[in-house]
Amino acid sequence: MNTPPLRLVICGTDTDVGKTIVSALFVQGLEAVYWKPIQSGTEGGGDRQRVIDLLELPKERWQPEAYAFQAPVSPHWAAEREGRCIDPEQLQLPAVDGPLVVETAGGLMVPLTRHWLQIQQLERWQLPVVLVARSELGTLNHTLLSLEALRSRNIAILGLVMNGPSHADNPRTLNELGDVPLLCELPPLEQLNAAALAKQWHVQNVKAKVETEINRL
């Protein structure tokens, strides 16, 4: 029996924790299609364009946003400022050939409308989540709360990626108290490019860890 292509969601414990870079890491490593359904803040082309430029993705390796808003604010407010409203029915997962990496906007509890949270959309998608967290001070509380929120809604957690300078204790503490596998510790990169991401993917054996956790779910 053929195994269906992997589809997963990259979520963050907060805004600006590195979801886009981690998304690029997984898109490249899994040879996946990239999709960010909601983009708030379109200056410079937004996160989709950053991933395209970073990995030199051809058109068949990315999907356009369902919604893109100019202001870099919470999606529900960004939509309201433009006289629009996000319709969750328009956030259906795209049909693609091969693996799919979905990047969310902001943290788990970010409102997409006045009545619909991002975590509710995750419930609807029913895809495993890769949670991106900062490596430094403050990450324990944010990350443990995020893990608890996902589990309270029975959303599968594929694993954790810690982004930032290496920390002597936080990865161990989150692994033990959060009962979550650590897929990768992504350090600051002197040069942020496809080659540097590929090196981290292979050195940290991320693909094997992902496959192990997929079999566990």
The Cα–Cα gap between 101 and 142 comes to: 23
CA 133 vs CA 1, 70, 85, 99, 136: distances in Å: 36, 26, 29, 23, 9
Nearest to 66 by CA among 50, 86, 96: 86
The Cα–Cα gap between 162 and 132 comes to: 6
The Cα–Cα gap between 173 and 97 comes to: 38
How many CA atoms within 13 Å lie on the side-chain side of 200?
Answer: 23
Q: Which residues are catalytic?
A: 36
DSSP per-residue letters across 142-206: HHHHHHHHHHHTT--EEEEEEESS--SSHHHHHHHHTT--EEEEE---SS-SHHHHHHHHHHTTH
